[in-house]
Amino acid sequence: MEFETSEPPTSHPMETDEPHPPPLQDPPRIHRLDESVVNRIAAGEVIQRPVSAVKELVENSLDAGSTSIHVSVKDEGLKYIQVSDDGYGIRYEDLPILCERHTTSKLSAFEDLQSIKSMGFRGEALASMTYVAHVTVTTITSGQLHGYRVSYRDGVMEHEPRACAAVKGTQIVTVEWRRCS
């Protein structure tokens, strides 16, 4: 099928016979952002304000089978947030990667998403918190004689987990929030 038109063909707005004026300045260079900048931006997407952290930590406590959750906050969470639960705790061997991005106990494969029953599963909340605050975790699992305490900053464990007295479950404390977005 052929179509005829009496109108002359029009040029595309970008197509012109006139020369383009030279740019006033060179365009800015495109570069990769430093990983710390990327992580701070990502933290702002996950944790918009300290109250978002409280929500994420309480959801983690519920996912851990907690029947009792205690929350303490100072200065609207900017100075201090503590969430303690009586859940099943965190394994010692999991502590080194606990606050890395995309680490989770809730799924292993993409197909697991079809049957997920937990509040959260992406493994971003704890990591994000470490980019905007100093995070300390104290935890004990069933059958252990003592718990462990370890601190994180910028997604990295600051020191080896240290043995400590602990009550059943996990306590997460965040202090000195920095601006995340």
What's the pLDDT tens digit per position in 17-27?
Answer: 666 666 677 76
What per-residue confidence (pLDDT) applies to 10?
57
User: Encoding tokens for residue 107?
Assistant: 């799924």
From residue 148, give the alpha-carbon distance in Å to each of 7, 102, 115, 153, 154. 80, 22, 32, 17, 20
- Reported as a single tens digit per residue, the pLDDT across 57-109 is 998 899 899 999 999 999 888 899 999 999 999 999 999 999 887 776 665 56
Give the C-alpha separation, 159 to 146, whole Å: 18
Q: What is the mean pLDDT of residues 121-132?
A: 77
Look up residue 91 and give its amino acid.
Answer: R
Q: pTM for the complete prediction?
A: 0.71
Q: What is the CATH number of domain 35-108+121-175?
A: 3.30.565.10
Q: Which helix (H) or strand (E) holds 153?
A: strand 147-153
In the predicted structure, residue 130 carries a pLDDT above the cut 60: yes
In the predicted structure, residue 3 carries a pLDDT above the cut 70: no
Give the C-alpha separation, 39 to 180, whole Å: 9
Q: Which residue has the higher pLDDT, 56 or 5?
A: 56
